[in-house]
Structure 1
Amino acid sequence: MSTRVRKSRRMDITKPHYGRRIALLRNIHKLSQGQLGDRTGYKQQDISEFESKQELPDEILEILAKGLDTSVTYIKEMDENGVGTSVFYVQDQGHGNGNFNTNNFNPVDKILELVEENKKLYERLLAAEKALLAAEKEKADMQQQVIALQKDAIAALQQTNQALQDLLGNTKA
């Protein structure tokens, strides 16, 4: 009886690409490379170079993380493919007496908030357009009334003129 030993293929887990992660976070925060450079003290060219590298030293990651309002741990553990559904945990340890702040940012919540704001703006736009159409209709109605009044005035003037001519014609005879 023979036993076959089956070799299991080891899953090839790709190494994290920290540069791409930095670029993703920078884009989420709507920052240009120059703006991130200003926040971190690097030049735009340095940021571009960092974003092209797969690995970055922890010292550089620490500086970039602060510029992106996140932590090195998050950058190292984030899922590049699912960044849209990730929640960012930002920690700021203040100086003195152990002040500790935690700021949570969820891009999905922000998108939903923006969609709701867009919806409200669209509804306001529709209401404004309806009001404009109503005003245009009222203007057209008023113009029709003015035209009718002008016609009546012209007819009255013509009658008055005719009556005067008749009166003048009767007095001459």
Structure 2
Amino acid sequence: MRTRVQKLKKMNTTAPHYGRRIALLRGLFKLTQAQLGESAGFKQQDVSDMEGKAELSDEVLLRLLEPMGVKLERFKEMDESAMGAMIFHTRDQSVGHFGFNNTYNLNPLEELLKAKEEIKNLYERLLEAEKEKVAFLQRQLDSK
């Protein structure tokens, strides 16, 4: 039995294989064949059979792509080899740096919000220090 990784490595770059593309997208969206089939109105076995076919009708593709929110035109323009290379490169990098199946997720929005909060705190401390300095100088002027 071939694994998904073995199947992805053997992608043909000359002719599109819509079944493999569906399998690849399904994997990226973390859907099982049963989940995708249920959302698209197919049985799990039907999805499995479709993933083995190089060509699928536009009607079938539309039904399969709708649950994943992928447009048919974009799907047909996909470059399987580039996506496969990207996935393998990402996997290789994660294994090399963080160990197998270890996730190191960095949410840029959270980091931005943390930085904003830090800047706000620094600004408040600076403002407080300036107020103390003004109060000190005012006391110095009043005493003279």
TM-score (norm 2): 0.50
* Structure 1: tracts of 5 or more residues without a match: 1-12, 87-106, 118-173
Q: Deviations over 1:129-158 (max 9, x none)?
A: xxxxxxxxxxxxxxxxxxxxxxxxxxxxxx
> C-alpha separation between the residues in 2 aligned to 1:78 and 1:35?
23
Structure with the higher strand share, 1 or 2: 1
Query: 2:72 — aligned with what?
Result: 72
> C-alpha separation between the residues in 2 aligned to 1:52 and 1:26?
14
CA 1:66–1:114: 2 relative to 1, 3 Å = farther
Structure 1 segments of 4+ aligned residues over 4 angstroms from their partners: none
SS at match of 1:42: coil
Deviation of 1:79 after TM superposition, in Å, equals 0.9
Query: 2:20 — aligned with what?
Result: 20
- Counterpart of 1:33 in structure 2: which amino acid? Q
CA 1:15–1:43: 2 relative to 1, 3 Å = same
> C-alpha separation between the residues in 2 aligned to 1:46 and 1:33?
9
- Counterpart of 2:28 in structure 1: which amino acid? I
User: For the pair shown, which has the larger CA radius of gyration, 1 or 2?
Assistant: 1
> C-alpha separation between the residues in 2 aligned to 1:72 and 1:49?
20
Deviation of 1:38 after TM superposition, in Å, equals 1.0
> C-alpha separation between the residues in 2 aligned to 1:53 and 1:46?
11
- Counterpart of 1:79 in structure 2: which amino acid? D
Residues 1:116 and 2:106 are matched in the alignment? yes
> C-alpha separation between the residues in 1 aligned to 2:74 and 2:35?
21
Query: 2:58 — aligned with what?
Result: 58
Q: Deviations over 1:72-123 (max 9, x none)?
A: 112111011222659xxxxxxxxxxxxxxxxxxxx9xxx9x95226xxxxxx
> C-alpha separation between the residues in 2 aligned to 1:114 and 1:29?
18
> How many residues end up aligned between the 2 structures?
82
SS at match of 2:81: coil
Residues 1:40 and 2:40 are matched in the alignment? yes
* Structure 2: tracts of 5 or more residues without a match: 1-12, 95-102, 108-144
Query: 1:30 — aligned with what?
Result: 30
- Counterpart of 2:14 in structure 1: which amino acid? T
Structure with the higher helix share, 1 or 2: 2
- Counterpart of 2:16 in structure 1: which amino acid? P
Q: Does 1 or 2 have the higher relative contact order (CA < 8 Å, sep 6+)?
A: 2
- Report the aligned-residue RMSD: 2.9
- Counterpart of 1:116 in structure 2: which amino acid? L
Q: Deviations over 1:35-83 (max 9, x none)?
A: 0011101000000011000000010011111022101112111011222
Q: Deviations over 1:5-63 (max 9, x none)?
A: xxxxxxxx721000000000000000000000111010000000110000000100111
